Chain A
Amino acid sequence: MADLGRAALVVTLGLALYALVAGGYAAHTNRRRLADSARNALVCAFGSTLVAALVLLAALARHDFSFQYVAAHTNRTLSTGYALSALWAGQEGSLLLWLLILTGYGALAVFVNRTLLRDLVAWVVPVLGGVASFFAFVLVAVASPFKTQVPPVDGAGLTASLQNPYMVAHPPMLYLGYVGLAVPFAFAAGALLSGRTDERWIVATRRWTLAAWTFLGFGQILGAHWAYVEVGWGGYYAWDPVENAALMPWLAATAFLHSVMIQERKGMLKVWNVVLVALAFELSVFGTFLTRSDVVNSIHSFAKSPIGGWFLAFVVISSLFSLALILLRLPLLKARTKLESALSREATFLYNNLLLVALCLTVLWGVLFPVLTQLVKGETRTIGRPYYDFFLRAFGLPLLLLMGIGPLIAWRRTSVRALLRTLAWPIGVSVVCGAALVLAGAGSSRPGLIAYTFSAFVLATIVVEVVRGTRAVGSVFTLVARNRRRYGGYVVHAAVVLLAIGIAGSSAYGRSTEQRLLPGQTMRFDGYRLTYRGVTRVNTPQALETRAHLDVSGRWNGSIATGTNDYKFPPEPNKKVAIETDWLRGEDLYVIADIRNSGAVYFTVLVKPLVNLIWLAGIVFVLGSLVAMWPDAREQRRLVTRLAPARASA
C-alpha cells in the first residue's frame, strides 16, 4: 500500500502544480473554464492527499513495520489511539498533515466562495496551489512517509513525552492554526494580484482568520498544559523557540483581527492589513521551519534533516513575493480617510496593533539572536527568560490596559469628559481592587499587582459595556445576537484577563522549595506538611514505574506519588509529577521527585497560585471565539445583496 500512498502524493503534486500554473494563466488571461478546472484540481488535491493520509493511518493502525515511518514511531505495545497520533509524531507525517489541512482548507474556501467571488477565487487558486506545491514536493522528493524496508519484529516506539492526551490534541490544533492562516494570505494575495483591493477578501476570510487564530491560541494553551503535567519542570511556558514560533503568528493575527475592523469601518490601514496577513502566514511557515530544522536548540525540534533548507528557501521566496506584490499595488491601497482623533476607538486599535507587533518582533529577535550570533561570531549566544519577561511586561501590561479602555471609547472621536465619565466605574473598581490586594500582601510583586489591577479594570469595563448595551436594547440575548463579533470579542477579552491573572499569580506569587528526605522524614512548606513514606517500583510492558510516596496534611490532606517512568520503547526516562489542585483557590501543589539509589529523594515542592485560571482561560477563549464566528444568516443574506448585483449583471 506504500505505493498507493506515494502515487497519491505524486498526483497531489501534479494537481497543485496545475492549480498554480493553469490557475495563474487562467486568471491572467481571463479564461473561465480553465479557472474552474484549476479550482477543481485544488479540490482534487485534497482528495488525493486524503488517500495518502489514510494509507499512512492504516499502516499505523496495523503496525505495518514495512513502512519506515511506522517502525520509527510506533511499536506493538502502543495503543491504537497513540499509534494513530504518530501521524504527527514524526517529520514526514507532520508534513503530510500540513498538506492535508492546507488542501482541505483551500478546497473548502474556494468552493464556498466559487459563485459570489469567482473573479477573486480565480487568483486565490494559484496562490494556494503554489503553497501546496511546495509541501507536496517536499513530501514526494525530500521527506516521504512512504519509504519501505524489510519489516523488523517490532518498532522503536513513540517518544514517551508524546504519550499524553494533550499531545494527541496539541499538534493538530497548532497545524489547524498555522495552515489556516494560509487562507487569508491567499485571498489577500489574490486581491492584490487581481488589482481589486476592495473589502471582499476581508469579508470572505473573516471567519477563516478567526478560526485559525482560535486553533492556534487554544493549541498553545493545550501545549502549555502538556508541558505543565508532562515535562516535569514546574512551569508551562519556557520561551522555547518552537513555543515562540506558535506565539508569533498568533500575535500578528491578533493585530490583524483588530486592525481589519478599522478598514471595514473607515477604509483605512489597507497596507497595514495586508502586511499583517502576510506576516502571520510567513511566521507560521517560519514556525514549521524552526520545528523541522536544527537551527535552534529546542525540546521540540525533534527532526533534524535536510528539509530545513527547503523551508528557509520557501520562506524567503514567499516573503519576497508578498513584499513585491504589496509594493506593486501600493497605489491601490491608499486610504481616502484619516484618523480623526487620537482619542477614538480606531486610535486605541492602532496603539494595540503597535504593541502587538512590537511584542511579536521582540520575540522574533529573541528566537533569531542565537542563529545570528552563530553566523556572525561563530558562537551561539542565547537569550534567556529575563529578556522575554521584561518585554512581556513592557508590552503586555499596556496591552491589557488598552483592552479595557478601547471598548469604552467611541468610534471617530470622544471627548475627555465623556471618556472620564464612562471610565469612572472601571477605574473605581480597579482602585478598590488594587488597594485590597496591597492590604492582602500582593504588593510583594509590582508587576503582579499591576497585572491584577489592570485585570480588574478590564473585567469592570466588560461588565459596564454589557450592562449599558443591555439597557440600550432591552435584553442581553438580543445584544449578543445582533453583534456577535463584538460580544464574542469581549468574552475573549475576559479569557485574556483570566490568562493574565493565572500567569501573574503562578509566576509572580509562586513559591518553591527543595529538600532531601529519607523515608519517614517530614518537610513543611507554605502550610503543607509532607512526609516521605518510601519508594515503589512497578514493571509494566511499557515502562519501569518508580514512585516516591508522600503523605500530605495541612492545607490539603491525602497521599501523592511522584517519580519517573523509564520507558522501554524507546528507552528513555520521563518524569511523572504529582499535582494536587485546590479548586477553591485555583492553586496547585506541584511535587517533583529526584529519586536516588541511596534511598534518599530530593523533592522540589512548588505552590502555584491561580495557575488553573490559565486552563480555564483556554475554555473561555474558545467559547468567545465561537460566539464571534457563529454563522449569521442575516449577515450572509446582506453580503449576497451587496455582492450580487455585480454578479447578476456580469
Chain B
Amino acid sequence: MTAAGVVLGVVLAAAVVVVVALPFLRDPAPADDRLDAPTPAEEQRLALAEERDRALGALKELEFDHRTGKITDEDYRRDVGPLRQRAAAALRRIGEPSDAVPEPRSDREERDVTDAQPVPEPAPPPDEGTPPTPAPVPEPYPPPDEITIPSPTPPQE
C-alpha cells in the first residue's frame, strides 16, 4: 500500500468516526434523549388532518368533475351535500390549529385549513329546496396534500 493510500485511508476512517459520533459529541449529556415520536394525541391529530384533506379533496374533485362534465347535475346534487357535511365535520373535529406553521404572505390566497375562515354550514340536502349552485373552483383537484379551502359559498335560496 502506498503512503498516500495509507494517509487517505486513515483520514477517511477518522472522518467517519467523527461524523458518526457527532450526535454524542455535540450533546454529551442531554436532558432528554428520547426520539420525538408522535404521542397518541399527535397521531390522532395527524389522522384527523389526513381525513380533513381527503374530505376537502373529495369535495373539490366533485366540483371539478362536475364542471368538466364527468358527472351530471343530478349526481352532483346528490353527492355534494354529504361531502360538504363530511368536510365540515372533519374541519370541526380538528379544531382551531393554533400551533400551525405560519404561512408566507404571498400564499394568503391559498390559505390552508390552519388559518381557515369559519367553517361553512353544510348545504341543505339535495331534496330540500333549490339545489345549491356549484361553488367556484379555482383550480382542478390537487392531491390531498395540495388542498386549499374553497371559499364558503352560501347556498342560494
Bound form: Cα–Cα A637–B102 in Å: 10
Which partner residue on chain A sits nearest B64 by CB separation? Answer: A472
Q: A31-B33, A411-B61, A483-B140 are in contact. Are A4 and B8 (CB under 8 A)?
A: yes
Q: Could you tell me if A4 and B9 are in contact, using CB atoms closer than 8 angstroms?
A: yes
Docked-complex contact A33 and B27, CB < 8 angstroms: yes
CB-CB nearest in chain B for A34 = B23
CB-nearest residue of chain A to B70: A410
Nearest CB in chain A: distance from B25 CB, A: 10
Number of cross-chain contacts by CB at 8 Å: 221
Cα distance A478–B36 in the bound complex, in angstroms: 40
Which residues of B lie under 8 Å from residue A43 when comparing CB positions? 19
Taking A472-B140, A649-B99 as given, write out 18 further A-B residue pairs in contact, using a Cβ cutoff of 8 Å, ordered by the A residue number: A1-B4, A1-B5, A7-B12, A35-B35, A37-B22, A37-B23, A261-B143, A264-B144, A265-B143, A412-B62, A415-B72, A418-B70, A421-B72, A469-B140, A473-B138, A482-B142, A646-B38, A650-B37
| Contacting residues, chain A, for B144 (C-beta < 8 A) | 199, 264-265
Provide the B60-85 mask, 1 if CB < 8 A to any CB of A, else 0: 01101101111110110001000000
CA gap between A473 and B139 in the complex, in Å: 6
Q: Which of A3, A632, A642 has the most CB of B within 10 A?
A: A642
CA distance A616 to B101 in the complex (A): 45
Contacts of A313 in B (CB 8 A): none
* A472 near B67: Cβ-Cβ < 8 Å: yes
Q: In chain B, residues 132-151, which have Cβ atoms closer than 8 Å to a Cβ of chain A?
A: 137-147
Chain B 2-33 interface 0/1 with A at a Cβ cutoff of 8 Å (1 = within): 10110011001101100111111001001011
Q: Is the CB of A44 within 8 A of B64?
A: no
User: Which residues of the other chain, A, contact B67 by a CB distance below 8 angstroms?
Assistant: 472
Q: Is B118 an interface position by the 8 A CB rule?
A: no
Judged by a CB distance under 8 angstroms, whether A235 is at the interface is no
Judging by beta carbons under 8 Å apart, are A265 and B58 in contact? yes
How many residues of chain A are within 8 Å of chain B by beta carbon? 80
Q: B-facing mask of A22-54, CB < 8 A → 1, else 0?
A: 000011001111111100110110011001000
| Complex alpha-carbon distance, A31 and B147, angstroms | 35
Q: Counting CB contacts under 8 A, is A375 at the interface?
A: no
B50 adjacent to A411 (CB under 8 Å): no
Once A267-B54, A411-B65 are accepted as A-B contacts, the answer to whether A647 and B36 lie under 8 Å apart by CB is yes
Residue in A4, A51, A122, A635 whose beta carbon sits within 8 Å of that of B145 in the complex: A635
Contact indicator A412/B58 (Cβ below 8 Å): yes
| Complex contact B68–A472 (CB within 8 A) | yes
Asked if B47 is an interface residue, CB under 8 A from chain A, the answer is yes
Q: Is B34 an interface residue (CB 8 A)?
A: yes
**A529 within 8 A of partner (CB):** no
CB–CB B35/A119 < 8 A: yes
Q: Which of A261, A486, A638, A644 contacts B140 (CB 8 A)?
A: A486
| Contact for B99 among A122, A410, A634, A645, CB less than 8 A | A645
Q: Does A11 contact B (CB under 8 A)?
A: yes
Partner of B37, one of A15, A119, A422: A119
28 A-B pairs with CB atoms under 8 Å apart are: A4-B9, A8-B12, A18-B20, A32-B32, A32-B36, A37-B22, A40-B23, A44-B16, A119-B36, A194-B37, A264-B54, A408-B70, A410-B71, A412-B58, A413-B79, A415-B71, A418-B69, A422-B69, A422-B70, A473-B138, A473-B140, A479-B140, A483-B139, A632-B146, A641-B101, A645-B100, A647-B36, A648-B101
A642–B49 touching, CB < 8 Å: yes
Q: Which residues of B contact A410 (CB under 8 A)?
A: 61-62, 65, 70-71, 75
- What is B's interface to A at a CB cutoff of 8 Å? 1-2, 4-5, 8-9, 12-13, 15-16, 19-24, 27, 30, 32-39, 42-43, 45-47, 49-51, 53-54, 57-58, 61-62, 64-65, 67-72, 74-75, 79, 97, 99-101, 103-104, 107, 110, 112, 114, 137-147
> With the chains together, A47 CA to B12 CA distance in Å?
9
Q: Is there an interface contact between A650 and B42, defined as CB atoms closer than 8 Å?
A: yes
> In the bound complex, how far is the Cα of B52 from the Cα of A454, in angstroms?
38
Q: Given contacts A15-B20, A33-B24, are A646 and B147 in contact (CB under 8 A)?
A: no
Q: Tell which of A3, A30, A198, A418 touches B46, judged by Cβ atoms closer than 8 Å.
A: A198
Across the two chains, which residue of chain A brings its CB closest to B65?
A410
User: Nearest Cβ in chain B — how far from A530, in angstroms?
Assistant: 53
Q: Do B103 and A637 touch across chains, with their CB atoms under 8 A apart?
A: yes
Known: A417-B72, A418-B75. A33 touches B20 (CB 8 A): no
- Distance from A480 Cβ to chain B, minimum over Cβ atoms (Å): 9
* B32 neighbours in A (Cβ, 8 Å): 32
Task: State A33–B100 Cα separation when bound (angstroms).
Answer: 27
With A196-B43, A265-B144 known as contacts, the answer to whether A415 contacts B75 (CB < 8 A) is yes
CB distance from B146 to the nearest CB of A (A): 5
From DSSP, what is the main secondary structure of chain A's interface residues? helix
* C-alpha spacing A634/B100, complex, angstroms: 16
**Chain B nearest Cβ from A12, distance in angstroms:** 9
Give the CA-CA distance A312 to B68 in the complex, in Å.
Answer: 51
> Residues of B contacting A413 with CB < 8 Å?
75, 79
Give complex CA distance A26, B24 in Å: 13
Given contacts A198-B46, A635-B145, A645-B45, A418 and B20 within 8 Å (CB-CB): no
Interface set, chain A 248-273, CB cutoff 8 A to B: 261, 264-267
Q: Mark A404-433, 1 if CB is under 8 A from B, else 0.
A: 000011111111011001100000000000
Q: In the complex, A200→B5 CA distance in Å?
A: 44
A47 with B145: CB separation less than 8 A:
no
Within 8 Å of chain B (Cβ to Cβ): is A383? no
Cβ-based interface call for A640 (8 A) = yes
Q: Do A650 and B39 touch (CB < 8 A)? A: yes
How long is the Cα–Cα vector from A11 to B110 in the complex, in angstroms?
A: 49
**Which residues of A207-256 are within 8 A (CB) of B?**
none
Q: Are B20 and A40 in contact (CB under 8 A)?
A: yes
Do the beta carbons of A485 and B22 come within 8 Å of each other? no
- Of chain B, the residue at the smallest CB distance from A37 is B23
Residues of B within 8 A of A473 (CB): 137-140
CB-contact partner of A7 in B4, B9, B20, B100, under 8 A: B9
Query: A632: shortest Cβ distance to chain B, in Å?
Result: 7
In the assembled complex, the CB of A62 is this many whole angstroms from the nearest CB of chain B, namely: 14
* Chain B hits for A33, CB < 8 A: 23-24, 27, 30, 33
CA distance A641 to B107 in the complex (A): 13
In the complex, A408 Cα to B70 Cα: how many Å? Answer: 6
A118 lies within 8 A of chain B by Cβ: yes
Q: A199 to chain B: which residues have CB within 8 Å? A: 50, 144
Cα–Cα, bound, A622→B3 (Å): 47
A624-644 contacts to B (CB < 8 Å): 632, 634-635, 637-644
